[in-house]
Amino acid sequence: MPPIADSILILLLLMNFFILGTANLRAAIRAVALQGLLLSLLPLFVESTLTFRLVALVGATALIKGMVIPALLLKALRDVHIRHEVEPYLGFVPSLFLCGVGTALALLFADSLPLAPAERASLFVPASLATLLAGFLVLTTRRKAISQVTGYLVLENGIYVFGLLLYQAMVVEVGVLLDLLVGIFIMGIVLNHIQREFSSVDTERLSRLRE
Amino acid sequence: MMAVYLIVIPLLGALAAFLVPADRVRPWIVAAAAAMHTALTLVIVRMRGKDVYDSSWLRLDSLGRLVLLVISILFLICAAYCVGYLHVRANRPNRIFCTALLGFLGMTTLVTLAQHLTILWVAMEATTLATAVLLYFNQNRRSLEATWKYLMIGSVGIALALLGTLFLAYGALLGLGEPTLLFPDLVRRATRLPVPWVRTAFVFLLVGYGTKMGLAPMHTWKPDAYGEAPGVVGALLAGGLTTSAFLALLRIYRIVDAAGQGRFARELLLFFGLLSMAVAAALMIGQRDFKRLLAYSSIEHMGILVLGIGIGGAGIFAALLHVINNAFTKGVLFLAAGNIHRAFKSKRLEDVTGALRRVPLSAGLFVAGFFAITGSPPFGPFFSELGVLIAAIGSHRYIVGALYLLLLALVFIGMGATVLAVVLGVPPDDPAGSAFRDSASKTIPILAALGLVLMMGIWIPAPLSALLHAAARFLGGS
Amino acid sequence: MSATLVLAGIVLCAISGLPALAHRRAMLLAAPLIIAGAIAGLAGCALGLFAAPAIVNFPWPVPGGAFQVRLDALSAFFAAPVFLLAGAGGLYAERYWPATRGGAASVRMFFGIMTAALVLMIAAANTILFVVTWEIVAVTAFLLVATEHELPETRRAAWIYLVSSHVATLALFAVVVLMHAATGTWTFAPIPSSSARAVLWLALIAFGIKAGLMPFHIWLPGAHASAPSHVSAVMSGVVIKMGIYGLVRVLSLIDGAPSSFGVTLLLAGIASSIFGVAFALAQHDLKRLLAYHSIENIGIIVTGLGIGLVAQSHNMPSIALLGYAGALLHVWNHSLFKSLLFLSGGAAIHAVHTREMDRMGGLARRMPATAAAFLAGAAAITGLPPLNGFISEWLLYLAGFAAITRPAAAAPVLLLILVVPALALTGALALACFVKAFGTVFLGVPRSEVVAHAHEVPPSMRAAMAPLLFACVFIGLAPAAVAPLLGRALQIAAPRVAGAANLTDLLQPIQTAAVIVAGVCAIAVVLLLAATRGARRAVTWDCGYNEPTARMQYTSSSFARGLVAFFGWAMPAEVHGPRAFELFPGAAKFESHVPDTVLERALLPSLSRGERLLGYARAIQSGRVQLYLLYVVLTLLALLAWSAQ
Amino acid sequence: MNVLAQLLLVLLASPLVLGVINRTKARVAGRRGQPLLQAYFDLLKLLRKRTVLSTTTTWVFLAGPAVAVVVPILASLLVPLAGPRAPVAFTGDLILFIYLFALARFLTTTAALDTGSAFEGMGAAREVTFAALAEPALFFGMLALARISGSLSLSSMLTVGGAGWHRASAALVLVIASWFIVLLAENSRLPFDDPNTHLELTMIHEVMVLDHSGPAFGLILYGSALKLFVFSSLVARLLLPRGGSPLIDAAALLAVVLLIAIVIGLVESGMARLRLVRIPQLLITATLAAGFAAVLVLR
């Protein structure tokens, strides 16, 4: 396992912290996009032989995770002209702290799992779990609907990291990406409707249905 | 080759529905596609999976046949209802709605056929997206909120399911040397899968698909979604979507069981089963909104399903039987509730009383559905719900049995109070009273569903019970 | 043969109401069909009481189910009154609930189905079939109670009934499943003593609720008061006997039931007989009064069963026989006189459109036949000779007295002695209660206009009461003739004591005595009537007060006041209205009402408290999607932790 | 033969009891008092009078008196008045005995309500109320006797005679005491009811029969006399030893009954009516006494 992969993964983790730490929504989206691009590069360092499949996968990933989806989000952000503060329920410091705790837990839990000799040293499993948790943190502590979508993307990225461990089996990875794309697309549409109906994407407004 | 048509027909129908310009025509397309689908399903099920298209990725095993049968028939009923319903709601454009309906059918069918974990996952995700569209039919704030919540929670759930799938694949990679995700392989060689990965994978898949099923505490999207969607969508979700999610869970359970972790899995299922029933009961009592009430009832019955599996043995047969009963009974309840909702332009007890006076047939069906779902003979659910109890006592789980009965009683109280408040008494005289009344097109489908529920309680067709037994054996039950 | 006839009866009853759905005219078919069914069924039961058990089997493709009907003497014994009441009720309903009245069709349909399912349940040999029919009866009964659901009071009563009966059904599930686990079959097979205890206690809940045994009686008064009268008659007469039948059937499967269970039955029976009648005394609604008397009589029946069990487990077969025989005979008697009372009382209510006794009065002059029927029913339920109620109570008294004559008996047996004073008190209170009921409803002068213009009910309704009246008198005058039937049923119910004594010989002298008493009293009355024919009529003397008004009459409430106050510690009364002490009090309104202590003061308050607690659970569904996602992740982490260990 | 003897005894002797009571009271009060046979004269007078019926009444109104008079006669056939065995005796006849009087009470109270008069309703209400409290006492006594005699037929229960007195004297005393109270209550004598007053609201039996007149009223008077006789003969029979020849027996019994009548007379002149609220307490005392007797014989 080349060290580059691990360094990329470390970058990925730092991105999590940045996303949780930044107060600016646009910056957060950009960070997610960057995560996507980094992920798209990963396969190149996992696989030695350069096949068409590899290229296709890298391309598709870069395209969807790195460009299309962020673009969609940024567009949505522009459409729903709102202040770009994140306005979290949970302050930045506590969320960063929790993210750290989550990363630590991820490392511990990953050690408890048996790994193939190749990956025993690598950061794939912990990184994926940590990113997953970071995504959850964004999802559960952020107020704006858009920032929740970003959280969802972070979560997806985490899963994608793990997916790379099974590169051989990832024939359907493209299908997965497609689903993701459609999902975000629909979320975008709904976001628009929300904007039109409530003239805000603050989820506070979206808590009418309750007991 | 035929099984593929089961997927192709709805998708073509969806395409047609999308292209056809006229709002009046589309419902008929849906109905037609549904009819063809059901016909083909019956043929294939009668063939007992012989010489149907059979690849390593798509195959129709006994379990799949069972679920396919249920979903197909339920969808036919709902499609038939849609014809009348969309006629009433002519003011709404239904292009997207009809397209999504058929897309939903196609994807759930794919779920029943999938023998490959990732295909299964893709199909589930697709159904999630299709339903999201269906939920938004009413296009008002409330439905928007419901859709958003459903989308967020559902997507997260499905994402976790994906990770679980990947874990399993990695386990296969470690244990079997190749990352196979084909159920037969995994089951056949399950003993060689590394235990930690199996357990972790099961946890993720349970939470993921459990979210789709609506097991507490991942059930939170249900009341909103069912409350705000049209009754027919509620019926499809409660009878179709949840069922296919349950099927996915069963397939996973089969692997985990084969991997020697059955006890671990069953413990978790028992826990979630009882918890779901408890949460549902707690929120049903004093419920003022009869559509949300049905949502909680659906949560409760998901609980009963996994409880049956969790008990194992005879419980598995009971659970599978309950899949059928629950699906059709939910059809009755949601469609009838939809009619009452239309007739009163409200779904809250403050405005809805004396439905028997305004829409006698629908109200009567609503009550019948209530008695059916709470396990009163001569309706089908009686046998499946009793079956779960029999299994619990038979396996000396007396505490579980006692809790089960207690929760059933609470649920009955909660549900009954609301249902009777809706149905009995004298309707309020509202000057702007809705023009909606019972009509053949909107009650005959419900009658059909009730007929099926009744049949399940009086005379279970021999081939069906054979299929049930086969599926139960397939899952290692009796 | 017997089973075939019974099945024919069942089918006829079941379909009797269906034509009504098709067309209003077809409603006329209901009465003939159900009467035909009743006759066929009664014939079948008559044969079944003596023939060997007849078994009928149909395939029934459901899990565990087999459509297996087995008509043995016990089943026939319990089924006979069902058919009788079904016929009488059907005939009665013809005019009581005419086609023009709302819900006429559904009343006929559900009435037919209920009675048919009831018989099927009694004859079921397969426990699944038993449960299914049991629940069908419960649901149809609920639908019948809810017939007049426009009235809030009716809705409330129906709801309470539905919940109680569903709890009973769930308990029955447990019973049946435990029996299955113990015996491995879905038939009524002998239960090994290892699991007998669990089965018995669960059975006590299931059947106790159904029978309305205190303290499970909460649903009974309301439901019986709100239902149409012929339905009340059947519910009170036979539906609540489902509980007794179930108890007897299950007990017959257990060899040597624990004495403690017998003692429980005994005490519960005594309690519900005494308090049942006490509450009845406090009622001013005629049908609620009758309903509470059902609780009393169920209590008497259960007491009998308790005697039987205790005596049997301390091998005193002859006493056990008296207990069982008294209980079973009282099952018949109660169905007869209670339905007679509901039909005649219902006729009175039908004529005056109120259930408030204190608004009635003087109906005896306007509807003499109904009054006579009610009087006979009242005398019978009070246990007066020479009517049927006396015979069954006489048997139970005898058991109590026999127990004390036994030298050095065990403690539980001494408890049997309690039966005597308990029955004495119950009987005396029942007498007070029915003097009050008959007096305020039928005697004196009308207390309101509508009552003054009441008319006798049509012949068909009176005809419906005739067979019941006849049966009451017949059993009262010829108990020895009934003894063999009783014996046959006992051989199934309690085979070990059935032969302990010869009932016929036992009942012979009391039969003779009853005949003499009846004859002498009749002659005396007739002679006096003849002697005073054409006597001068004058206004009631009333100590010279020559302006008596209807309002001055003693009301039912004031009549019972003394005894109600005597039981005030158990049933506090709610009294509204001023106490007028000043010299010239102005117009004032006074009303008193005695709520059911168990329901109104214990159960409902605690339930509402529980509901308030559940209210906190609603916080789960707070509407915040972030919170919902938090549930998901927390669940995930918890499960991961669990799976890792 | 035995039957006829008993019937004659009961039918002829019972009004005499009333006479004896009244004479005793008069003597205690220092008056000469009415002739001993006054009751007979009253009955004859009433039988000759015409009946007046209330316009509201039905046949029930007359069924009351009719049954009230035949019931004590029938009941008396179950009591061994002359000789060790009653004309009619079978297992469980004691229950019939008590329930016969219940039948009478049922019809007399209904008859009272038939008039629609407030007074008579009140009387009926009190009658049934106090009877409900008196019944258990009677039955507890019967239980004790059943235990002592080991039999379930009045004939042998009431004739436990000397043997019984040896074995369970205390119990018998209690039974007799409690039954004497019951006797006073059942026959509406002081301290429960005052047979002399007629316009007081404090009465039970008398106020029930306000509207009866002529022969019917006569029957009521006669009926209550019979009832008093039968009840006192119950107590009397317990006091007497197990008899031999019918004639001596009957004579002895009559003597004791008249003795009891004198006691009643003394009681009535000795004490005033109890307040209504006190009456239950007295009856419960009687019940407890009888119950205690039953407990005594059990050990």
- Give the pLDDT band of residue A18 (cuts 50, 70, 90): very high
Residue C401 forms contact with D (CB below 8 Å): yes
C629 and A210 in contact by Cβ < 8 A?
no
Contact criterion met (CB < 8 Å) for B227 and A209 = yes
Which residues in chain C are closer than 8 Å to A140, comparing Cβ atoms? 626-627, 629-630, 633
pLDDT exceeds cutoff 80 at C421: yes
Residue D29 to chain C, least CA–CA distance (Å): 28
CB pairs under 8 A between A and C: 37
Whether A64 is in a domain gets the answer yes
Kindly determine whether residue B386 and residue C636, on different chains, have CB atoms separated by under 8 Å.
no
pLDDT at residue D202, rounded to an integer: 60
If one compares C541 and C79, the residue with the highest pLDDT of the two is: C79
The pLDDT score that the predictor gives to residue C208 is 96
The Cα of D30 is separated from the nearest Cα of chain C by a number of Å equal to 31
| Distance (Å, whole) CA D80 – CA D88 | 9
Inter-chain contact C626–A203, Cβ cutoff 8 Å? yes
> What mean pLDDT value characterizes chain C?
92
What per-residue confidence (pLDDT) applies to D204? Answer: 79
Closest Cβ opposite residue A194 in set B125, B144, B174: B144
Could you tell me the pLDDT band of residue C99, with boundaries at 50, 70 and 90?
A: confident
A112: nearest CB among C624, C627, C644: C644
Say how far residue B300 (Cα) sits from the centre of its chain: 12
H or E element in which residue D53 lies: strand D52-54
Q: Which chain C residues in 197-226 lie under 8 Å from chain D, judged by CB atoms?
A: none
Q: How far, in Å, are B168, C53, C61, C628 from residue B173 at the CA level?
A: 9, 67, 47, 34
State whether the Cα torsion D271-D275-D279-D281 is positive or negative: negative
Residue C251: pLDDT over 90:
yes
Q: Distance, in angstroms, between B425 CA and closest chain A CA? A: 25
**Residue of chain A minimizing CA distance to C633:** A136
User: Cα distance from C624 to chain A (closest Cα, Å)?
Assistant: 5
SS3 per residue for C475-514:
HHHCHHHHHHHHHHHHHHHCCCCCCCCCHHHHHHHHHHHH
Average pLDDT, whole number, for chain B?
91
Res B52 pLDDT > 80? no
Please answer yes or no on whether C365 and D52 come within 8 Å at the CB atom: no
Interchain proximity B132–A182, CB inside 8 Å: no
Q: Where does residue C126 rank: exposed (0-12), middle (13-18), buried (19+ CB within 10 A)?
A: buried
Mean pLDDT calculated for residue range D159-170 = 80
Q: Which two structure tokens, joined as six digits, stand for C64?
A: 């565990």
- Report the alpha-carbon distance of residue A133 to residue A16 in Å, rounded: 9
Average pLDDT over residues D268-279: 84
Q: Taking 70 as the threshold, does the pLDDT of residue B3 lie above it?
A: yes
Q: Decide if C540 and D116 are in contact by the 8 Å CB cutoff.
A: yes
Q: Which domain holds residue A70?
A: 3-206
CB contacts, 8 Å: C429 with chain D: 132
Nearest CA in chain C to D59: C529
Q: What does the pLDDT look like over A57-108, one tens digit per residue?
A: 888 888 888 888 888 888 888 877 666 777 778 888 899 999 999 999 999 8
The backbone torsions φ and ψ at residue B116, rounded to the nearest 5 degrees and listed phi first, read -115, 130
Burial of B15 (0-12, 13-18, 19+ CB in 10 A): middle
When divided into structural domains, chain A yields a total of 1
Higher model confidence: residue B477 or residue C414?
Answer: C414
Q: What is the mean pLDDT of residues C264-282?
A: 96
Name which of C424-438, C525-539, C578-592 the model is least confident about.
C578-592
Closest CA to C323 of C111, C96, C500: C500
Interface check for C522 against chain D (CB to CB < 8 A): the answer is no
For chain B, the structural domain boundaries read 2-474
Q: What digits encode the pLDDT tens for the residues C141-177?
A: 999 999 999 999 999 999 999 999 999 999 999 999 9
Q: How many CB atoms lie within 10 A of CB B176?
A: 16
Any chain C CB within 8 A of the CB of D47?
no
Phi-psi region of A50 (alpha: psi -120 to 50; beta: other; left: phi over 0): beta
Query: How close B287 gets to chain A, by Cα (Å)?
Result: 8
| C627 vs A contacts (CB less than 8 Å) | 140
pLDDT band at D188 (very low <50, low <70, confident <90, very high): confident
Would the pTM of this model clear 0.80, i.e. be above it? Answer: yes
pLDDT digits (tens, 9 = 90+) for C104-145: 889 999 999 999 999 999 999 999 999 999 999 999 999 999
Average pLDDT over residues B24-37: 93
Which of B145, B193, B289 is the best substitution to test chain A (most A C-beta atoms within 10 A)? Answer: B145
- Tokens encoding A149: 């979508």
Alpha-carbon gap, residue D203 to D205, rounded angstroms: 6
At B421, is the pLDDT very low, low, confident or very high (cuts 50, 70, 90)? Answer: very high
What is the per-residue pLDDT across C335-344, written as a single tens digit (0 to 9) for each? 999 999 999 9
pLDDT score at B433: 65
C621 reaches A (C-beta below 8 A): yes
What are B261's two structure tokens?
A: 């972790």
End-to-end CA distance of chain B: 32
Select from B139, B155, B174 the residue whose CB has the most chain A CBs within 10 Å, as the one to mutate to test that interface: B155
Examine the pLDDT at C614 and tell me if it is beyond 90.
no
Residue C546 is predicted with a pLDDT of 67
Residues listed for chain C: 645
Q: Between chains, do C181 and B156 touch, taking CB under 8 Å as contact?
A: no
Substitution target in A113, A139, A155, A187 with the highest count of C β-carbons within 10 Å is A139
Interface subset of C 360-399, CB within 8 angstroms of D? 361-362, 364-365, 368, 371, 375, 379, 382-385, 390, 394, 397-398
Tell me, yes or no, whether A211 lies in a domain: no
Q: Report the length, in residues, of chain B.
A: 478
Q: Report whether pLDDT(A147) > 70.
A: yes
The amino acid sitting at C137 is V
Considering only CB atoms, C630 lies closest to which of A109, A140, A206, namely: A140
From the list C614, C568, C609, C628, the residue with the least C-alpha distance to C592 is C568
Strand-pairing partners, residue C68, are C57
For residue C64, list chain B residues with Cβ-Cβ distance below 8 A. 383, 386, 390
Which pLDDT value is given to residue A163? Answer: 84
Give the type of residue at C141: A
Q: For residue A171, what pLDDT is reported?
A: 55
- All residues of chain C having their beta carbon less than 8 Å from the beta carbon of residue D100 are 385, 517
> Is D106 in Cβ contact with C382 (below 8 Å)?
yes
Taking contacts as CB-CB distances below 8 angstroms, the residues of chain A near C641 are: none
Is the Cβ pair B156, C629 closer than 8 Å? yes
3-class DSSP state of C527: helix
Residue C45 has pLDDT above 60, yes or no: yes
Query: In this complex, do A139 and C622 lie within 8 Å of one another by their Cβ atoms?
Result: no
What count of Cα atoms within 13 Å lies in the side-chain half-sphere of residue A3? Answer: 0
Instruction: Decide if C131 contacts C187 (C-beta within 8 A).
Output: no
* pLDDT grade for D199, boundaries at 50, 70 and 90: low
- In C41-174, beta strands by DSSP E: 54-58, 67-71
pLDDT above 60 for A1: no
Scan for tokens 């899968």, then name that residue.
B193
Q: Using CA atoms, how far apart are residues A7 and D188, in angstroms rounded to an integer?
A: 111
The pLDDT value given to residue A165? 81
Asked if residue D241 has a cis previous peptide bond (ω within 30° of 0), the answer is: no
Q: Is the pLDDT assigned to residue A173 strictly greater than 70?
A: no
Contact A179 B122 (CB under 8 A): yes
Read off the pLDDT band of C409 (50, 70, 90): low
Which position has the token pair 């899995």?
B265
Q: Which other chains touch chain C, taking contact as 3+ CB pairs less than 8 Å apart?
A: A, B, D
| Residue range C7-39, pLDDT digits in tens | 999 999 999 988 888 888 888 899 999 999 999
Which of B19-28, C107-116, D93-102 is predicted with the least confidence, judged by mean pLDDT? B19-28
Q: Pick from B138, B140, B152, B182 the residue to mutate for testing the A interface (most A CBs within 10 Å).
A: B152
pLDDT value at position A189? Answer: 79
Q: Which residue of C has its CA nearest to B147?
A: C625
Q: Which of C364, C384, C424 sits opposite D139 (nearest CB)?
A: C424
Q: Which of B149, B394, B424 sits opposite C149 (nearest CB)?
A: B424
Q: Are the Cβ atoms of B118 and A113 closer than 8 angstroms?
A: no
Which among A84-88, B47-51, C214-218, D79-83 has the top mean pLDDT?
A: C214-218
Give the pLDDT confidence score for residue D192 in this predicted structure: 83
Q: What percent of chain C has pLDDT over 70?
A: 99
Kindly state the average pLDDT of the residues C463-477.
Answer: 96
Give the pLDDT score at C535: 84
